Structure 1
Amino acid sequence: MTFASSESFHAPGPATFELPPVFEIGSVGVTKPMLQLFLAAALVFAFFYAASAKRAMVPGKLQYAGEAAYGFVRNGLARDLIGSRDFMRFVPYLFALFFFILLNNFFGSIPMINFPTFSRAGMVYGLAALSWIIYNAVGIRKHGFVGYLKHQSVPHGVSPVLYPLLIPLEFLSNIIVRPVTLALRLFANLFAGHILLVLFSTGGLYLLQNEGVIGAVAGPVAWVLAILVSFLELLVQFLQAYVFVLLNAMYISGALADEH
């Protein structure tokens, strides 16, 4: 039986996500996650364009799938959270956002890609910034700049005595912290899930190759755990796309509300 030193195994960490450029355009390196963003946008557009290209009263399988996907976002997220009066103008954004995030998340489980795009924090902060601009712009357009700040910072039905304490907290929570927590929730879940998959996969291989009898038992166990985590990751990838869009719809609803 052989026992390799623990230093021989390099556990996955943040460096796992530092991928080299696939190619360079001038001085700009184009990385795998950047290409995945374009691929996801193209695939989402292609699918729903094909699903809606030949619309019929009796839908075929592709049209039915497209309509079901659209109805899920339109009715289950936009209409239920924003309200029947205002929801339709936000459906295109929420619809595109959900399936764009979902496909990028699923890239982490697709063979030959095996990398969730939004496990890179910079990618997620871009989406969070876009969401921040949209729901704040919607609120300012309805209430005016000063009215919107009051709407988001001054809690309704609270004694003015508590204003010095609550107004800074409400301002930080609703204006400053929201995009950060929105991004971190998506990023952290995908980052952690990918780390686990890499750990169990590479750890299982290391055990089989270096730890003799113990490794012959523990290695396959690690790979079984990797398979189980892979199925769990599919659920997490869907839920994180859903939660991200759900919170976007809630923030838009809150910006449009007459009372805070």
Structure 2
Amino acid sequence: MPVRGSRERIKAFGEVSRRLGLSNRVYRGIHAIPVEKIVGSVGRAADLLPGFRLKRPDTRYYRIRRAMERGEILPPIIVYKVGDEYYVLDGNHRVAVAKELGREFIDAEVIEFFPSPKIESKALRKKRAEFERITGLKGIDATEPRHYDAFLNYIQDHARQMSASLGREVPIQEAALNWFLCVYTPVVQKIVEKNLEEAFPGKGLADIFAYIMDYKWFQSQKVGYDIGFERALEGFMKEIVGIEQPERPALERRTLGQKVGGLLEEVLPWLKRE
């Protein structure tokens, strides 16, 4: 029988992540997970009603419903796991239909998150809050206060470059958004592709980004010109990490776009994915 009548609001992964201090993650592969344990969404909680019902069911929703009723095999959803609960990164429509039809299990690619073993210092919380207030960017979670100073310097330099190029004064939050999309996100994508998270346990993507940019600046100063990101990444991996070009397994690489999409939703919650 379909499961109806749930009055619990849909949980937002961003809120849970900040409250629990989630920073470490492990890819768990594809599993059949209990539909009743899916309690939230990554970046789309506001679009869902209690019971995981869509506020505005669309053509896609009804197409997926017909396919499920016919017994068609659909691609696995992608979820973040926290404890025994799941948050949907990709597949909100499929989950809404599965709950409406009373399905017990659904196939999902699972990425499990854990709290950082370190307790945040007051200095770190203060630096993060100041960075978020000035730039408007939320969810760039570093574990070292100095990294937020470096990020702000990068954004201020980016603002000056944009102002010179556009011939007008560019506000800091406009520059921050452009920096996040054009600089930070592509670098983080490379970090995920090269599996560098495993080389820095307890550190987040923002920390590794900062380490690479520190290395890039130092090497550029040595040679007298900007060596570029690709050369900096190659040197960082060889000299600092001591590895060549490690990559994710093929299955995990396939979902990289989804994971970076999740990063976008966490940092820029006003961005909406179709």
What interval of TM-score do these two structures reach, taking the shorter chain for normalisation?
under 0.3
Q: TM-score, normalised by structure 1?
A: 0.22
Structure with bigger RCO (C-alpha 8 Å, 6+ apart): 1
Q: Which protein has the bigger strand share? A: 2
Rg (Cα) greater in structure: 1
Q: TM-score, normalised by structure 2?
A: 0.21
Q: Which protein has the bigger helix share? A: 1
